[in-house]
Each structure stands twice: as C-alpha cells, then as structure tokens.
C-alpha cells in the first residue's frame, strides 16, 4: 500500500444508493484477493479495509458481512473469471438519484404489464427497464469544471459571407445557444456550419418578441435551399393572410402565422442559429431534431406543432 493512500472511500453519509455503499467492502475485498498472492498479506489488508471503512462511518456488521461474502471466492477463480457478457439493447430508465426514488424499480415492475398488452409490444419491451441513477449536480460540480475549453475550436453557426447571400444577414454567428428562458446554455460542437451546410439542425427565433418563440427544423439538403422554401412559404402565407384568403394548404401554420401578427414584418424578424449536424445520416439527424425540439420545449414555448415523423 502506498504511503500516500488516504483511504478516501465514499463517506457512509453520502447521498448514494445503499447498494453502492454495500458494494465497496465487497468489491474491495475481491480486489485485495486478486492482488495478494500471500494469505497473510490478504488477511492484513482485509483487516485494514474494515478499519478504514469503519472510520468513514460504515456499519461494522455490514462491512464484516460483505468482506466475508467476498472472501468465499478463491483467488484462482477470481483471476480466471470469464468476462461478463453484456445484454444488447437493454432499455434503461435514467433518473437523477434521490433517496425516495428507490421504489421506482418496483413501480416499473408493476407497470411493465401495461407496456406489453400483446405480442408485438412484448418484442419491443421484452424486459422490465433497468433503473439507472445518475448524480445530481453538486455545488462543486456547478462551480468547477474539470474540462478545459478548446479556445481554438472552430465549430458553431457562421455566415457563409457569399457575395450575394441573402441568408447571411439572418444568421447568428455564435458557438452557443440557449433555451428561450435562458435557463440552459448549450455549446454548438459541430461545424463550422453555414448557409451552405447540409444535414443541419437549425433554430429560427423571433427577433421581435421577448420570449423568442424558437422553432427547430432540420434539412438534408443545403440549409440555403431549405430556408428558401420557408421564405417563399412565408411570403405566400402573408399574402393570403392579409387578403383574408384561406391559408389551409400551407404547412407550418403556427410558425408562419406568428410572423403575420402585430409588430412583425415576416422574414426580416427571423434570427437563425445552426445548432447541430449529422452528415449523411438522415435517421440520426431526425432523431436529434426531435431531441432538440423537446430539450428546448419548442412545442409549448415555441413554434413547432408536429412531432418529427418516424422514418
């Protein structure tokens, strides 16, 4: 054992699931068993482990029980254990850990029957989803970030600066974008993305309204081509709207009607950010488009009205 080892095992008072804490004496004993070829050393290290865990506030009886359970394995078996085979496509239900959520596993078991009313559904949900707990953000996590930002990164939303580009003046040059209530900020990791990029996901916001009314869309063709379609649809919509004609045939009614309201002047109000890209992969592009629509809540607080169709 290194002299510098400070035995910083997880504090027993820490807000972690009980099975995590119980797993520490068990897994550490297995580890010691694998490392120590000499039985005397093994005994000494196991006693040390029990001593340090008790010092960290662990229940003596629990620690003893787990150490004994792990000691039942022979060193030979541990060193020759075949690797664990992972099950494919296991559905995991991920939530932030909170002590009262321990019952979620039982609830999922109970309601699994609702997910499998017939054979077709049983194929999709063959097993009860696993419950995966993730850490809640701690004060330390909020204040300190161990990742160094790459200052030279060239990703983000940019203008193409083409001589006659009419889209550039609507594009926001930025490497981040936020939820419309500013509660969350995201980095644009792909790029540089500009008017000519393909397979992009874009956000069109209202430059007039205080709450931006975001709209998220995606295109496999160049963004320029896609936006030209939006522009011509907006012109058509405005013409019909102000002539009191029916606008029924025009798609994206919620989006286009917003820019015909008071104070709005149409296309000139659009503020566009290219936020993501999946080159050559239409399925991933559509999945990600749907992800951003929900993450930014653009159905409730923005101008999206229909879910992305499943391909």
Side by side, the strands of the sheet bearing 200-206 are: 215-219, 200-206, 270-277
| 267 near Zn ion (CB under 5 A) | no
Least CB distance to Zn ion at residue 213 (A) = 5
Q: Report the C-alpha gap between 25 and 46 in whole angstroms.
A: 9
**What is the nearest approach in angstroms of Zn ion to the Cβ of residue 59?**
60
Using the contact rule CB under 5 A, the part of the chain among 95-103, 145-153, 208-216, 238-246 near Zn ion is: 208-216
CB of 92 to Zn ion, least distance (A): 39
**Smaller CB separation from Zn ion, 163 or 248:** 163
What are the structure tokens assigned to 148, written together? 């160094």
State which of positions 216-245 bind Zn ion (CB under 5 A): none
Token pair 């009313």 is found at 117
The torsion region of residue 147 among left (phi > 0), alpha (psi -120 to 50) and beta comes to beta
Question: Which residue in 208, 272, 274, 303 binds Zn ion (CB under 5 A)?
Answer: 208
* Cβ closest to Zn ion, residue 133 vs residue 223: 223
Which residue, among 91, 85, 84, 86, has the nearest Cα to 132 in the 3D structure? 91
For residue 210, the minimal CB distance to Zn ion (Å) is 9
- Rounded to whole angstroms, how far apart are CA atoms 240 and 234? 10
Nearest-approach distance from CB 186 to Zn ion, in angstroms: 22
List the one residue from 209, 233, 247, 260 that touches Zn ion (CB under 5 A).
209
The Cα 190–Cα 277 span in angstroms is 6
Q: For the beta carbon of residue 111, count every other beta carbon within 10 angstroms.
A: 10
Footprint of Zn ion on 163-192 (CB under 5 A): 165, 167-168
Around Cβ 74, how many Cβ atoms within 10 Å? 10
Choice between 108 and 168, CB closer to Zn ion: 168
Q: Which of 32, 188, 193, 195 binds Zn ion (CB under 5 A)?
A: 195
| Of residues 136 and 161, the one with the C-beta less far from Zn ion | 161
Size of the chain, expressed as the number of residues it contains: 311
Pick from 63, 131, 160, 285: which binds Zn ion (CB under 5 A)? 160
Report the 10 Å Cβ neighbour count for 38.
8
Q: Write out the residues near Zn ion by the rule CB under 5 A.
A: 160, 162, 165, 167-168, 195, 206, 208-209
């Amino acid at each position: 054992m290194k002299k510098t080892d400070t035995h910083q095992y997880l504090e027993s008072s820490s807000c972690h699931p009980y099975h995590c804490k119980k797993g520490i004496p068990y897994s550490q004993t297995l580890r010691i068993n694998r490392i120590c070829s000499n039985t005397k050393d093994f005994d000494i290290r196991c006693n040390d482990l029990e001593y340090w865990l008790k010092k960290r506030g662990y229940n003596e009886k629990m620690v003893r029980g787990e150490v004994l359970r792990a000691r039942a394995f022979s060193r030979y078996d541990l060193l020759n254990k075949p690797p664990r085979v992972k099950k494919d496509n296991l559905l995991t239900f991920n939530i932030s850990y909170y002590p009262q959520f321990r019952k979620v596993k039982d609830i999922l078991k109970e309601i699994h029957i609702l997910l499998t009313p017939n054979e077709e559904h049983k194929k999709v949900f063959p097993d009860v989803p696993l419950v995966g707990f993730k850490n809640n953000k701690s004060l330390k996590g909020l204040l300190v970030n161990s990742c160094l930002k790459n200052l030279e990164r060239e990703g983000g939303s940019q203008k193409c600066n083409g001589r006659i580009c009419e889209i550039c003046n609507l594009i926001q040059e930025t490497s981040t974008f936020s939820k419309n209530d500013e509660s969350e900020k995201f980095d644009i990791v792909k790029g540089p993305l500009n008017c000519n990029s393909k397979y992009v996901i874009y956000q069109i916001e209202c430059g007039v309204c205080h709450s931006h009314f975001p709209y998220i869309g995606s295109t496999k063709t160049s963004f320029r081509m896609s936006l030209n379609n939006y522009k011509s649809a907006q012109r058509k919509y405005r013409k019909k709207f102000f002539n009191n004609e029916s606008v029924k045939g025009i798609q994206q009614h919620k989006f286009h009607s917003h820019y015909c309201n008071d104070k709005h002047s149409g296309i000139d109000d659009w503020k566009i950010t290219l936020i993501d890209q999946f080159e050559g992969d239409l399925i991933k592009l559509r999945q990600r488009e749907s992800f951003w629509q929900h993450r930014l809540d653009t159905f409730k607080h923005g101008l999206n009205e229909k879910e992305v169709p499943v391909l």
